[in-house]
Structure 1
């Protein structure tokens, strides 16, 4: 038995972050930015676009963490890890939308808990009303 995997060998489907839940292509990012809907928090912008019924069900996430705000790759990767983890935990309750979380302002201090709570509150605004 592997210490890093549950006994079944796979994570539960609702807690995974598979490739089909990610925005990967430039035109996918462009369509979300072109929709021009966004929610703002202290450090982030959450751009979103409703998905058509014929598209895959569920929410998808894209991340933009600019080098001009965080020069060190370690810091940029921390933001990405926090965003992916919070998205992964909330994904089963999110409306079917394409989401892009973008760092909009340079954080004065990298407080993991504060940034994670900020990301969680932004994503929480996208939760379906029946969940």
Structure 2
């Protein structure tokens, strides 16, 4: 298993983030919000982008911890993910910054994403 977070698994450009936010699909968890967009045909891997606002976490060390925890969980679950672009952002200020709680919230969001949604009847 690859132990790095390679560039091909990252959203790097502003346009990539904008297109995911523009697609307007999101799932909210307790602490995190997951915005997602299916990738075009021919792409088989999921990609991840992270947004952690200074408004919610003032200290850089705390923002970096959030990013580190989410990236690690993404890397571990990458093989089972559909080809989507994901943007994770902090939705609520965590009272005590707990890596385990962040990881559980992120995994719950991934499980919701992979569950097929029931068809809506009009």
> Do the structures match in fold with TM over 0.5?
yes
Deviations 1:69-117 (A, max 9, x none): 0000000000000000000001110010000000011111112211111
Question: Alignment partner of 1:70: what SS?
Answer: coil
CA distance in 2, matches of 1:21, 1:124: 19
CA distance in 2, matches of 1:39, 1:58: 20
Number of matched pairs: 116
Aligned equivalent of 1:118, options 90, 95, 105: 105
Q: Out of 111-120 and 71-80, give the one that drifted further.
A: 111-120
CA distance in 1, matches of 2:92, 2:38: 25
* Partner residue, 2:29: 41
- The runs of 5 or more residues in structure 2 that have no matched partner are 117-122
- The runs of 5 or more residues in structure 1 that have no matched partner are 1-11
CA distance in 2, matches of 1:72, 1:114: 19
Calculate the TM-score normalised by the size of structure 2. 0.88
* Partner residue, 1:57: 44
| Cα contact 1:64–1:100 (8 A) shared by 2 | yes
Highest Rg: 1 or 2?
A: 1
